[in-house]
């Protein structure tokens, strides 16, 4: 796969992974306050899949030498922080 297309796919997944992460906080209200856990299960499953895809794409970018190890570490860390992928996209991902 072309590294430019790989980066484009990574940024796309990073965007949706970020949104799924934020959505989990909303579904936590449904789960604990309203005792409706289904929404949290569905969103959590989607988020988990997107997170795995995000990490695999990050690894591919590293292996194809599109990014260096430090950038991969930044990509990993921002995935753990709410709003992290959005900020990183503006600050770093768009410049990779």
- The full DSSP string for 72-94 is HHHHHHHHTSTTHHHHHHHHTGG
Is there a contact between 30 and 40 (Cβ–Cβ < 8 Å)? Answer: yes
Distances (CA, A) of 22 to 7, 25, 36, 78: 23, 6, 18, 13
Asked whether the predicted pLDDT for residue 37 surpasses 90, the reply is: no
Q: What average pLDDT score do residues 23-44 get?
A: 90
**Residue of 90, 95, 62, 94 lying closest to 76 (CA atoms):** 62
Question: What local confidence, expressed as pLDDT, does residue 11 receive?
Answer: 93
Q: What average pLDDT score do residues 4-27 get?
A: 92
pTM (two decimals): 0.87
Q: Which residues, in sequence order, are CB contacts of 30 under 8 Å at separation 6+? A: 36, 37, 39, 40
């Amino acid at each position: 796969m072309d590294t430019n297309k790989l980066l484009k796919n990574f940024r796309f997944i990073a965007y949706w992974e970020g949104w799924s992460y934020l959505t989990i906080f909303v579904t936590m209200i449904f789960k604990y306050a309203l005792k409706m856990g289904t929404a949290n299960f569905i969103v959590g499953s989607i988020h988990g899949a997107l997170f795995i895809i995000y990490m695999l794409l990050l690894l591919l970018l590293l292996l194809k030498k599109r990014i260096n190890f430090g950038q991969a570490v930044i990509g990993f860390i921002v995935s753990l922080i709410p709003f992290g992928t959005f900020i990183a996209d503006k600050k770093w991902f768009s410049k990779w």
